[in-house]
Amino acid sequence: MTTGLISGEQPPEHPGPADAFPAQQGQARDDRPEPHAPERTRSSVITARAAASFEPVGRSVATARSFVRDTLQGWGFADIIDDAVVLTSELVTNAVVHAGTAADVVCLRSGEGVRIEVADHYPERELPLQSAALTMTNPDQEGGRGLQLCAALASRWGVDYTTTRKQVWFQLDLPDRAVGTRSAGPALPVEMLPAADGRVRVAVVQIDRDGAVTSWNEDAEDLFGYQAASVTGKPLTDLAAWPHTPGTSTGIAEALRLSRWEGSYGIRDAVGRVVPVYASHLRVRDPQGEPSTVCLLVRNEERAVLQSPARGATGDTAGHDGRDADPFEVFIGSPAPDDLDGLLQRTVERARDMLDADAAFLLLATDDETELEVRASTGLPSARQRFARVPVEAGPGRYGSARMPAVHDDLAAAPGAIPLLNGTGMRSVVTVPLKVEGRLTGSLGIAAESPGRYSNEEALRLQFAADRIALAVESARLGELERLRRGSLSFLVEASDLLAGTLDRDQTLALMAQMTVPTLATWCAVYTINDPSSEPYLSYVLHEDEDRIDGLKALLSKISPPDPVPTPGARVWTAPFDAAHEAALRSSMRSLGLGEPTTVSSGIGPTLATASAVGGETVVLPLVARNRVIGMLTLGKPTDEHFRQESLELAEDLSRRAALALDNARLYSERMAISQSLQRSLLPPELPRIDGVEVEVIYQAAGEGNEVGGDFYDLFPIRDGAYGFAIGDVCGTGPNAAAVTGLARHALRLLAREGLSGPAVLQRLNSAILDEGERSRFLTLLYGELWPQEDGSALLKVVCAGHPLPLRLRQDGTVEPAAEPQPLLGVMDDLELYEETRVLDPGDVLLCVTDGITERREGMRMLGDDGLADVLTTCTGLTAGAVAARVLRAVERFASEPPSDDMAILAMRVPGLPAD
């Protein structure tokens, strides 16, 4: 690259860069004169000129950017550097990448600005018509953006054509500045000016060396509501709401002792609200040498009143006022990116441009400094490398450690020395550490495709750059970690609430997967283990793209599950990647006629899309609950993507909570299954068919099914022509109540079939219940015997021991009790019971219920025996099934809340003899 300067001289009518300056060695020289340039005014006298030619290779774009940036910095044109570099980058890219020719760049300095000309040598180009309007293409396309940017950013621009050459030129004018001004901005339309109130209030507060307020002006009184007398002598720190930044120790007290400080914080006003302000602090001393600090404060939205304009990066380290420029800003440029990813990406781009490299990369160290994680790169396949991890100590000696600078002349002679660059074609590499207070925080490297490009001099320059940005990078990283940890805490709290809100196993599995996809991973699979002797079973699969779930499930079902290792933490699992790519390769070969079509297994075969879905990193986390591995949580990324360390730590925390929730769901399901099985065993498997009597039973257990209820019913044959029936309610629920229920139902059948009368059956049952001791429960029981008669009626003998009375519905609609109340069972030893006899006429209905029916409540109201009788009066002429259904519907509608007690309904109807 060759540059030249001409001071105070008018250029020739047809300037030619190749005529005025010798060509750089190894570059093609163009001796043809440049196309005719437009006439320039007297203010356009060329005072300096720089020219360079660039080969048609990809790295020439970065070199051209550096050339323009260095040239304009040398001329002191920092105000227009960014626009000039952007336009030059696009135009040179068009020449060396799209046109595939060398590019000539000429920079011309004049009194009013800078003109930059970029020419290529593409021989086959259609010349545009002069009258044709410029048609702008889609800005997202690769081609055509250069001219659009010229139209948007340049003050003037144009295109000159010849048969063998095209030249695009643009001019950037310098902003007008009044004589003696330190900085100035361009003239803006009114609607683009910063917004402010009708009267801008600037609070002026002065504090002494101890931080106490000594001066408080009227604008401060208006802004914050304090009178000067009420705050004078008080520390300003009592009013300030300082936004502590994670990873930094600077507070308001420290900031007030600095010679100059500028930034945002809050002031608590007189009513306790925090008013965001933008402040500018200046430390001064009075004639007696006593220091104090003057603080200018405005509302944060009016910060433009006090905020210092951003300084452009220049080649010098001194500012306009003679102060030393921040070396971080010199390297990164101003304004620096606010976010960590933007800062890291700007760093690698500047490092690559600084040393004319083909690629650059930056890695950050993990908390334990054992691994480095790729966070930014340029010139490398970033999608494949991002978040990849490499060990800090990759080998013996200083060249294998990221803690020391290293220069590799040729990676071909030391394969694997830089694992990150394997397969990228890079040969020369320089790596330097990022350190803060002696602790390794990261590594910065540049690479070139040719060997022997770099020496210790470049390593020294790169180390200087790394030292400039190390502290800023670490501060930004700590800030990001703090935000991630706060987000992780919120995520885990929400996840815990969701997992605790269900005891259903299938729903727990679905929640586990839905919480990880897509927050932590692209796809997820959950394996479960029922007992230590069983194999892991693929229970749930989820992908962020629903169309890929079936293919992913088919792929995972064909490979062996991961080993159930109880060791905590995530471990890499390569089986899905290997199986998917092998299957995709076979599929591709068969499509080309190179494979065996008969080897395809049945089912949904993995496609190329499935292979891409599992082509990235896959990790397995054990699900450990109560010291047993109950499953595995598998997380995966698409092709060439890696997990962040923070994401894996969050996934590990989630897996512990999910494992406990899944095990709780398993235990609950087992308990529910046992309870339901026991509940079924306490009820008759089926009801016998009674000639001449319609029978209907409805039973509803309250709760979620994990407690055995105390209500029961039974209907069974005693002997020829006689049937026994019972409906009862044991006090309480659970195992003890279930024991009494089982005892009562089976004892009733045995005693009744022995030929004992109803009172004798209940008296012996009462003795059996009392023999249970502490496990005994009192029992309300309605027991009866039914004999259908030849005339269509039915003979009824009944004993009601403390149970709700049975109701008899006659054909005329009258309702009456069918028995008298007697003492309940399980309380007294000597129990005197008697049997009552009734005759059910044809059309009569006998209704027997438990107290869950009669004690149905809505606030202070209760259905009761009278309410049940009112419902029964409306059932005249209905079948037994219709009567039971109407009673249940009336009970459910009586209250808006679901029933809180078990309910049993036994309805029997004597239909009478069929008509002849």
Question: How does pLDDT run across 392-426, given as a tens digit for each residue?
Answer: 776 555 556 778 888 888 888 877 778 778 778 88
Decide: helix, strand or coil at residue 613.
helix
Least confident of 240-244, 308-312, 419-423: 308-312
* 93 vs 104: CA distance, rounded Å: 12
Alpha carbons within 13 angstroms on the beta-carbon side of residue 833 total 31
DSSP label of 401: B
Q: Token digits for 287? A: 């004639």
Say yes or no to pLDDT of 178 above 60: no
* 257 vs 260: CA distance, rounded Å: 8
Mean pLDDT computed over every residue of the chain: 79
* pLDDT mean over 641-655: 83
pLDDT at 343: 86
Instruction: Output the CA–CA distances (angstroms, integers) from residue 475 to 55, 478, 481, 663, in the order listed.
Output: 40, 5, 10, 42
* pLDDT range class, residue 847, cuts 50, 70, 90: very high
Instruction: Output the CA–CA distances (angstroms, integers) from residue 763 to 461, 604, 756, 798, in the order listed.
Output: 103, 68, 11, 14
Question: How does pLDDT run across 856-886, given as a tens digit for each residue?
Answer: 998 889 999 999 999 999 999 999 999 999 9
Tell the residue number behind the tokens 């040239």, with chain if given. 71
Q: Token digits for 609? A: 């899309």
* pLDDT mean over 148-159: 82
Question: How does pLDDT run across 788-838, given as a tens digit for each residue?
Answer: 998 889 999 999 999 999 999 999 999 999 999 999 998 888 888 999 999
Question: How does pLDDT run across 565-623, given as a tens digit for each residue?
Answer: 888 888 888 888 787 777 767 666 666 666 554 444 433 344 566 666 677 788 899 99
- CA nearest to 106, candidates 58, 143, 160: 160
User: In sequence order, what E strands does 269-370 have?
Assistant: 274-285, 291-299, 359-365
Q: What is the pTM of this model?
A: 0.47
Burial class (CB in 10 A: 0-12, 13-18, 19+), 262: middle
pLDDT at 914: 61
pLDDT at 703: 59
Question: How does pLDDT run across 534-543, given as a tens digit for each residue?
Answer: 888 899 999 9
Q: Which of 241-245, 247-251, 321-325, 732-736 has the highest mean pLDDT?
A: 732-736
* 229 vs 77: CA distance, rounded Å: 50
Question: How does pLDDT run across 661-692, given as a tens digit for each residue?
Answer: 888 888 888 887 777 777 777 778 788 888 88
Alpha helices in 560-644 (DSSP H): 575-591, 608-613
Number of neighbours of residue 486 by Cβ within 10 angstroms: 11
Q: Which of 25-34, 241-250, 297-306 has the highest mean pLDDT?
A: 297-306
Transcribe 419-443 into DSSP letters. Answer: GGGTTS---EEEEEEEEETTEEEEE
Q: Token digits for 665? A: 């769901």
Decide: helix, strand or coil at residue 809.
strand
Q: Token digits for 600? A: 């395809």
Q: Which residue has the higher pLDDT, 605 or 200?
A: 200
Question: How does pLDDT run across 462-479, given as a tens digit for each residue?
Answer: 888 888 888 888 888 888
Using CA atoms of 173, 176, 182, 187 in order, give the dihedral in degrees to the nearest 10. Answer: -100
Tell the residue number behind the tokens 């109950």, with chain if given. 630
Burial class (CB in 10 A: 0-12, 13-18, 19+), 40: middle
* pLDDT mean over 521-534: 87
Q: Report angle CA 854, 868, 866 to the nearest 5 degrees.
A: 90
pLDDT at 781: 93
* pLDDT mean over 355-365: 88
Residues pairing with 445 in the sheet: 361, 431
